[in-house]
Chain A
Amino acid sequence: MAKVTINGIEVEVDSSMTVLKAAEKLGIVIPTFCYHPRMDPAGSCRICAVELEDSKRVVMSCVTPVADGMRVLTESPKIHDARKTNLELLLLHHPLDCPVCDCGGECPLQNMSFAYGATETRFESHRNDEPEDIKSDVLVFNANRCILCGKCVRICDEIQDVHAIGFINRGFDTIIGPPLGKKLDCEFCGDCYEVCPTGAITDQFTRYKYRPWQLEKQQTTCAYCASGCQIFVETENEAIVRVTSREGVGPNEGSICAVGRFGFNHVQIPERFDTPYMRSLHRLVPATWEDVLPEITARLDLIRKKGTDRVAGLISTRVPMEDAYVFQSFFRKVLRSNMIDSGARFGFMNAALPLVSATGTLRPLVDHEDILKAKVILVIGTDPVAESNISGLFLKRAARKERAKLYVVDSEAITLSTRAKDHIRLLPGGEKLFVSVLNEEIARNGALSPDWTARKEELFKNWNVDPGAYQRLVNDLTSTETGIIVTGRKAYRNENGSSIMNSIVRLIGSLGWAGKVGSGLFLLPENANDLGVLMMGGTHEWLPGLINATDPSSKSRWESAWGRRLSYGNGGSLGDILKGIEAGQINALISLGENPLSHFPSGSKVRETLAKLDLLVVLDLFQNELSDMAHFVLPVSSSFERGGHFVSAEGFVQPIKATMAHWGESLPDWEILSKIAHGMGESLGFESLESITAEILRFLPDLVPSSRNGAHYQGPTGEITVPVMSKTPPHKADRESVSVKYAQWQSGTVSANGEVHPILGEGDFILALTKSLFHSGKMTLMDPNLMEIQSEGKIRINRQVARKRKIKKGERVTVRSSFGSCSMIAEPSSSVAEFEVLFPSHFANEVVLGLFPPDLAFDRETGVPVQHRVRVFLETQNPA
């Protein structure tokens, strides 16, 4: 500890601290340009100068460590002169085009020049007239305005770990930009543009469209992935102009990804439904709510009187908790149907079911902070950077800055593999074997039965697993103090997803991590509110609070809570719903933003099945295959227009806010359902969103909103108060009860010769549908900004293989499977495995889905559709 005196106030601080941080502790603000709390200090802008009283020297506070007995002045005539001179020098080449600069009005350089009165310069120089670099479709670099603080370069290196931009040239000619004057090619997170203290980096989407003082700022939660990023939506006249983040606020600590930052425009394009539509003479015609609601009500009323489970419901996992709660109440109370399912059924249920049966909760055992503290991290079956970008950032930081031993098990070289200690590059299809052998090895402490030994040998021989790396992984996992397994989409969307997730959950138990603080499983859901919708009982298995929906004793708990008898049927998942419709037992389907047609190939006859419905009501934002078939299409609010709460992957229950005006006549889902229920003469008892939240919290008090780094910002305009570190109530699962439950669950043994779903078809390659970094589901395909970043799906193929087969970049290739064929644009990539080809699932339209086996197959345990990969041949189209 060191005692320092700053401006006459004595403070005792850690001796490793810098003067700047010591002053921050006292609440003294020292102006900075190049300092950034999450990065190493650079000391390049020379504006944080302070005076040492004893030696009368001027030093840079951001790089000077404190010393015992140090006496510092942060404001003095000498400091004032030093800063002013500095500003004059910074402004020497600065173009002073503030009126047209997007940063003008929120520019630290502008504010500082104003504060220090650096209006005239005593130096002779010329203004820079470098042309702007507008080659990139996303970011614009203006070398004239740059003050070379290096923040953008450092955030790209240290936080994002992407290394896309750097200093070019030397001396007066130094500029910032992508190397070799090329077009910028990076993750387009826009963090460089966020931290830039001048207007040197701006973005193409909002360029010249706003002035900062016109914008109204509101904090909300990003509705794309489950990282739970806190974003600031800035609107002018209730239309969204841009999305920004704020340093240190939220679980994301101020970083957001490309999708969150630029994907806001799809909610305000003319293609969006702005009025209800009703089918009349085989055409959908615009109608009013007054026409549509009584009609739906009357038809639903007739159908529900036929018996229980007559109406099926699908809910997207992008809706807030409150809407999911109303959705299931409406179905179970009013329609007496348990035929409900959520978008999580397309994959996440594979993970949720074993996890809930093992731990009793969907809340995670670990969060991002634990990732930073973990000694060993195993990333298996996921590409965190693409799936949940901010979790990916924490993993990068853990591996790079905190020196965690990172293991990546994946067929593809994902972004994290270059930071990994070992990248176990197994062949596609061997995932299930790998995790089950790993679990058995750890559970039996290495003493494998002959059956299992044979399987392990198979792993090394057939699936390309390096025995040395495998052994290192086993040793590290068993000997570590704290370890985390990260898994996600690739694991639970695998054709063996259910058993892979089962083995991974077992593995946590075998390692004894259930009871070990700081260790556990970090599961990356697909959508923003996968956890929330399931917690609210969005599927037939569970009532709100993950209580078994069919067991009479657990059902009676909700019956007494709601004060009414629940007389719904046994219910069923997506597969049962389709079967029920086919058999005529289900006559109506209400879909809240979920489109099953986009997941199944046309040969699977899902369209024909759905055509048998007497009533199909679709609540959605955009026209899609399902809405084309619908009898009624109802416009719903997007996540930017309504309130509610999302549950993030870390277990935080974070609010979303209405930030823009309602689009046309759109309404939130809960309001539409309440109105329909009201029309049927039943009241759900919800007058406002607050009343739903209140009811949820009354019955499930552990869902009290929580967040990291910052109380939620309240109020229409103005400054956001300094973030308060608040972590109560706990967002993580209760470790004690989880470890008790785990012990009960861990009883059975696993057979070495369990059933394996093979990858179907034949061909040289395995085609997998992956998640792209720049899209999220199919909704973002409607976003003009994100379509600018990535406008089409390209099939990624191993570079060497492409060379051998003479497939060039951008060339069209024919992809042929046993079930169909289609033409795709090839993109050779060094990260893809030799026997694999990858295609972004967002662009998987009917033609691409036609490559997949047409028969509907669902996992027996979890009801998740199993076709996720298929074997294909590649043929070049040009014979030359």
Chain B
Amino acid sequence: MTLKTLLNNILFTEIAQGLKLTLKHMFKKKITVQYPHEKLTLADGYRGFIVHRRYENEQERCVGCDLCEAICPAKAIRVVGDIHPEFPERRYAKEYTLDFTRCIFCGFCIVACPVNALAMTKEFAHSSFTREGLIYSKDQLLALGDKCESESIAYLKVRNMWGAEDSGKEEGRYHFPPIPTINAGG
């Protein structure tokens, strides 16, 4: 044992060195977020909960095409298509369930969607006491979409999917028969 190590041992230099960093931070700005009371600003394009979107006339966008179900790697989506009860020439999703216990938030479904009916939001903390509580129906997804409309639009814009479909231009990715205008809430 040399003199130097002996001194170090007696004077607790190592502890002082460690405490130096701690002391330094006592005078810096705090970075801890008090989560439930404080929230971080998430970036646009954050892959949070998936929602259903509507057109400006309140009509749901989803056409029940099953493409999201087909591409979903976690098999979290189930779509049952049928003839729209009001417009017999339209297809719609009679049942749409998204199982968030299975969802891996990859965002493939949003890419696959031909009508931009799906988008991701900055919602991430939906919890439930049961597994069933995390299986969302179309109505729940639409309600969530209404709540987070600006976030979903921001997601699509950032992910480069805010395309012709939404800008109202003629050359969309797909072309569907024109949707009859109906009153809001119809």
Indicate whether B60 reaches chain A with its CB closer than 8 angstroms.
no
Residue contact B177 to A132, C-beta cutoff 8 Å: yes
Q: How far is the CB of B110 from chain A (nearest CB, A)?
A: 14
Cα of A209 to Cα of B114 in the assembled complex, Å = 18
Indicate whether A557 reaches chain B with its CB closer than 8 angstroms.
no
Q: How far is the CB of B98 from chain A (nearest CB, A)?
A: 17
Which residues of the partner chain A approach B80 to less than 8 Å between Cβ atoms? Answer: 209
Residue contact B175 to A96, C-beta cutoff 8 Å: yes
Chain B residues 72-102 with CB under 8 Å of chain A are 80-83, 88-92
Indicate whether A723 reaches chain B with its CB closer than 8 angstroms.
no
Cα of A129 to Cα of B174 in the assembled complex, Å = 13
Which residues of the partner chain B approach A214 to less than 8 Å between Cβ atoms? Answer: 66
Indicate whether A100 reaches chain B with its CB closer than 8 angstroms.
yes
Residue contact A129 to B70, C-beta cutoff 8 Å: no
State whether A96 and B174 are in contact (beta carbons under 8 Å apart), knowing that A211-B66, A213-B70 are contacts in the complex. yes
Cα of A158 to Cα of B91 in the assembled complex, Å = 33
Cα of A214 to Cα of B65 in the assembled complex, Å = 12
Cα of A95 to Cα of B81 in the assembled complex, Å = 20
Indicate whether B67 reaches chain A with its CB closer than 8 angstroms.
yes
Chain A residues 129-181 with CB under 8 Å of chain B are 129, 131-132, 134, 144
Which residues of the partner chain B approach A104 to less than 8 Å between Cβ atoms? Answer: 65
Q: How far is the CB of A234 from chain B (nearest CB, A)?
A: 15
Against A, the Cβ 8 Å flags (1 = close, 0 = not) of B169-180 are: 000001111100
State whether A97 and B66 are in contact (beta carbons under 8 Å apart), knowing that A131-B89, A134-B88 are contacts in the complex. no
Indicate whether A605 reaches chain B with its CB closer than 8 angstroms.
no
Cα of A144 to Cα of B178 in the assembled complex, Å = 12
Which residues of the partner chain B approach A131 to less than 8 Å between Cβ atoms? Answer: 89, 177
Cα of A13 to Cα of B81 in the assembled complex, Å = 49
Q: How far is the CB of A126 from chain B (nearest CB, A)?
A: 8
State whether A129 and B65 are in contact (beta carbons under 8 Å apart), knowing that A134-B88, A207-B83, A208-B83 are contacts in the complex. no
Cα of A208 to Cα of B110 in the assembled complex, Å = 21
Indicate whether A127 reaches chain B with its CB closer than 8 angstroms.
yes
Indicate whether A98 reaches chain B with its CB closer than 8 angstroms.
yes
Indicate whether A99 reaches chain B with its CB closer than 8 angstroms.
yes
Indicate whether A210 reaches chain B with its CB closer than 8 angstroms.
yes
Against B, the Cβ 8 Å flags (1 = close, 0 = not) of A73-102 are: 000000000000000000000011111100
Cα of A144 to Cα of B176 in the assembled complex, Å = 10
Cα of A98 to Cα of B66 in the assembled complex, Å = 11
Interface residues on B, range: 20 to 34
Q: How far is the CB of A97 from chain B (nearest CB, A)?
A: 5
Cα of A211 to Cα of B177 in the assembled complex, Å = 19
How many of A's residues come within 8 Å of B, CB to CB?
A: 20
State whether A208 and B175 are in contact (beta carbons under 8 Å apart), knowing that A100-B91, A132-B89, A213-B70 are contacts in the complex. no
Which residues of the partner chain A approach B63 to less than 8 Å between Cβ atoms? Answer: 99-100
Residue contact A100 to B176, C-beta cutoff 8 Å: yes
Cα of A100 to Cα of B79 in the assembled complex, Å = 13
Chain A residues 182-220 with CB under 8 Å of chain B are 207-211, 213-214
Indicate whether B64 reaches chain A with its CB closer than 8 angstroms.
yes
Residue contact B64 to A208, C-beta cutoff 8 Å: yes
Cα of A880 to Cα of B168 in the assembled complex, Å = 61
Cα of A825 to Cα of B89 in the assembled complex, Å = 32
State whether A134 and B177 are in contact (beta carbons under 8 Å apart), knowing that A100-B63, A208-B83 are contacts in the complex. no
Which residues of the partner chain A approach B81 to less than 8 Å between Cβ atoms? Answer: 208-211
Against B, the Cβ 8 Å flags (1 = close, 0 = not) of A785-826 are: 000000000000000000000000000000000000000000
Which residues of the partner chain B approach A134 to less than 8 Å between Cβ atoms? Answer: 88-89
Residue contact B82 to A209, C-beta cutoff 8 Å: yes
Which residues of the partner chain B approach A211 to less than 8 Å between Cβ atoms? Answer: 65-66, 70, 81
Chain A residues 95-136 with CB under 8 Å of chain B are 95-100, 104, 127, 129, 131-132, 134
Closest-by-CB residue of B relative to A208 is: B91
Q: How far is the CB of A124 from chain B (nearest CB, A)?
A: 11
Closest-by-CB residue of B relative to A102 is: B91
Which residues of the partner chain B approach A207 to less than 8 Å between Cβ atoms? Answer: 83
Top 5 A-B pairs, shortest CB-CB distance: A99-B65, A208-B91, A100-B91, A99-B114, A211-B66
Q: Which residues of B contact A (CB under 8 A)?
A: 63-67, 70, 80-83, 88-92, 114-115, 174-178
Interface pairs (12), CB distance under 8 Å? A95-B176, A97-B176, A98-B174, A99-B63, A99-B114, A99-B174, A100-B176, A132-B177, A208-B64, A211-B65, A211-B70, A211-B81
